[in-house]
Amino acid sequence: MNILVTGGAGFIGSHTCVTLLNAGYNVIIADNLCNSKKDTIDKIKVITNKDVIFYQVDINQEKEVDEIFNNHIIDGVIHFAGFKAVGESVKKPLDYYYNNVLSTISIIKLCEKYGVDRFVFSSSATVYGNNAVPFKEDMELLSTTNPYGETKVISERILKDTSTANQNFSVAILRYFNPVGAHESGLIGESPNGVPNNLMPYITQVAKRNLQVLKVFGNDYSTSDGTGVRDYIHVLDLAEGHVAAFENLKKGVHIYNLGTGKGTSVLELVEAFERVNNIKIPLEIVDRRPGDIDSCYADTSKVKSELGWNAKRDISSMCRDSWRFETNNE
C-alpha cells in the first residue's frame, strides 16, 4: 500500500514514516521543508533500511501535488503538514489560516479527484480549550483560545462536511496531547528553530547549557504541586497510533485522543529528566504564561476500545530519548 505523508520530514511525520515502513507500507513524503531538513529523509532510510519517495513541495500548490497523485497509486493520506506554534499564530493569524486550512482543503480535493478515500488528520488537544479534564472526544469545542487551535477546529469541520457529502470517505482525526521523545537511534527527533516554546526542548537546551535556566510558568495552578499538568506522549507511541488508526479506518469521521491518559506536572517532568539523565536543570518560577491552562490530559478509553492502541513508553523513556537525540545532534 502506498501512503502519502504530508509533512513527513517533520517531528511526528518522520517517526510515523519509520513506523509505517517497518509495518510494510510504501511511503511517499510531500514536504516543503519549511520547518524540517532534507537529511531527515536519509535518516528515515538509514533507520528502516527501506526506500522512501520524497517530493519537496508546498501542499498549497495544488498543481504540483496533483502530479504526485498522477504519478503514484495513492491508497491513503496522512496529513501532518502545517504550522504549529501557538504564540506565533496569535501574531500571524493569516499565515496560519492560509497554511493550515488551505492545505487541508487542497489535499482533500485531490483525494476526491483521484478517489482516495482513506485519510488521517493531525489534530490537537488544543481544540478542547477550557473544557474539564480528562478530555473526551465527544466534548463540545467551545473555547479554542488561539488561531492555531482554530485552524484545527476548522479543518476537523471541513473533514466532517466532506465525509457527509461523500459517504465513502473514511477519516480518522487524531488529537495529539504533548508529543516528546525521539527515535531510540538518536537520528531523528525534534529540533525547533530558535529558542524553544515547548517544555521538553527547552529542558534539553538548558541541559546542554545553551540556555541558562528553565523558567517555570507559574506554581499557583490548582494541581498537585502548583505547576501545569500535561499528558506527555512518546512520539513513537504516537506514530504507532497512526498505523492503528490507518488500519482500522471506517467510513465516516472518527475522532481519537492520542495521549497516555496520565498527567505530569512541570516539576515532575524536570525531576524525571534530572534522574534519568543525571543532569541538573536550574529553574526559576516566573509568572504564568498567558493562555495556559491548569491541566490537560486525555480520556483514552475510546482509542483503546476501538483501535486497540495504547501508549507503552513511560516518562523515563521520553526523557532519555529526547536527551539522546539532543546530544547526537550537536
The catalytic site residues sit at: 148
Question: Where does residue 219 rank: exposed (0-12), middle (13-18), buried (19+ CB within 10 A)?
Answer: middle
CB 223 within 8 A of CB 294: yes
- Which positions touch ligand NAD (CB under 6 A)? 6-7, 9-13, 31-36, 58-60, 80-82, 84, 99, 103, 122, 124, 176, 179
Shortest Cβ 202–ligand WQD spacing (Å): 4
- Residues 118-147 vs ligand WQD: string with x where CB under 6 A? ------x-x---------------------
Cell of 128: 478542547
43 contacts ligand WQD (rule: CB under 6 A) = no
CB 295 within 8 A of CB 133: yes
Helix, strand, coil % in the chain, rounded to nearest 5: 40, 20, 40
| 14 sits in which H/E element | helix 11-22
CB 192 within 8 A of CB 205: no
d(CA 118, CA 253): 10
Name the residue with cell 509505517: 20
d(CA 189, CA 191): 7
86 contacts ligand WQD (rule: CB under 6 A) = yes
Q: Which residue is nearest to ligand NAD (CB)?
A: 10
Q: Which of 155, 178, 257, 260 binds ligand WQD (CB under 6 A)?
A: 178
User: Which partner, ligand NAD, ligand WQD, none, binds residue 223 by CB below 5 to 8 Å per kind?
Assistant: none
User: Which partner, ligand NAD, ligand WQD, none, binds residue 313 by CB below 5 to 8 Å per kind?
Assistant: none
User: Which partner, ligand NAD, ligand WQD, none, binds residue 11 by CB below 5 to 8 Å per kind?
Assistant: ligand NAD
Supply the DSSP symbol for 319: H
- Residues 279-318 vs ligand WQD: string with x where CB under 6 A? ----------x--x---x----------------------
Where on the chain is the footprint of ligand WQD (CB under 6 A)? 84, 86, 124, 126, 178, 197-199, 202, 215-217, 228, 230, 266, 289, 292, 296
